[in-house]
Amino acid sequence: MKTNQKCPKCGSTDIVAGVELNAGGANTVQLEVCRKQLGGLVQPVEARGKATAYLCRQCGFVEIYADTPAQFRNATA
Ligand SMILES: [Zn+2]
């Protein structure tokens, strides 16, 4: 979808690139990886980065890519 501008679900080429993910406020949603301990305690964020979405206008399917995936290379959830 990112590279060929074609929806993998319905085959449509009516794709909107660069759709922002928004939590309803002024800030764009970011991807975060937090390591979890036994017992459910959450450690500080190990990696954080922006994401860009691609939206199919025919079926509504949304595909999301990290803008800088390399910064998650050593992060584990
Ligand atoms: Zn589609």
**Whole domain around residue 28: which residue ranges?**
15-70
The stretch 8-32 carries a mean pLDDT of 83
pLDDT score, position 8 = 96
Structural contact between residues 68 and 76, judged by C-beta atoms closer than 8 angstroms: no
pLDDT score, position 17 = 92
DSSP codes, the chain: -TTT---TTT----EEEEEPPB-SSSSBPEEEEEEEPTTSPEEEEEEEEEEEEEEETTT--EEEEESSGGGGTT---
Span from the CA of 51 to the centroid of ligand 1 (angstroms)? 20
Number of domains, the chain? 1
Span from the CA of 55 to the centroid of ligand 1 (angstroms)? 8
pLDDT score, position 63 = 94
pLDDT score, position 26 = 64
Two structure tokens written together for 7: 């929806």
pLDDT at 62 over 70: yes
Domain assignment of residue 47, yes or no: yes
Span from the CA of 10 to the centroid of ligand 1 (angstroms)? 4
The stretch 32-38 carries a mean pLDDT of 75
Domain assignment of residue 7, yes or no: no
Domain assignment of residue 77, yes or no: no
Q: Rounded distance, CA 10 to CA 31, Å?
A: 27
**What's this model's pTM, rounded to 2 decimal places?**
0.72
pLDDT score, position 6 = 95
